[in-house]
Amino acid sequence: MSEHLLRVDWPACKAHGVCAELLPEVISLDEWGYPIVHEPVKGDVLLLAKTAVKACPTLALRLTEPPPRPA
């Protein structure tokens, strides 16, 4: 199962906190309300992560696959 990475576009993020409300398993908020991504997204949480990305009011959250590892 591949892990996906959540990335925050810091200039676009306005600390609304929607991502942390929808995805508390992976994201918490710092003291100013900005997201802290704690771990890669995998398994059942992937669907929730996609929902959080779509729900971000400033489109500051991205979900990416990690680059392939060299053999």
- What pTM, to 2 d.p., does this model score? 0.85
With contact defined as beta carbons under 8 Å apart, do 64 and 8 qualify?
no
Using CA atoms of 10, 11, 15, 18 in order, give the dihedral in degrees to the nearest 10.
-70
Q: Which two tokens stand for residue 9?
A: 């576009």
For 1-59, the pLDDT digits (tens) are 678 999 999 999 999 999 999 999 999 999 999 999 999 999 999 999 999 999 999 99
d(C-alpha 43, C-alpha 28), whole Å = 19
> Domain 5-64 class?
alpha beta
Q: Which two tokens stand for residue 31?
A: 């003291």
Domain definitions of the chain by residue range: 5-64
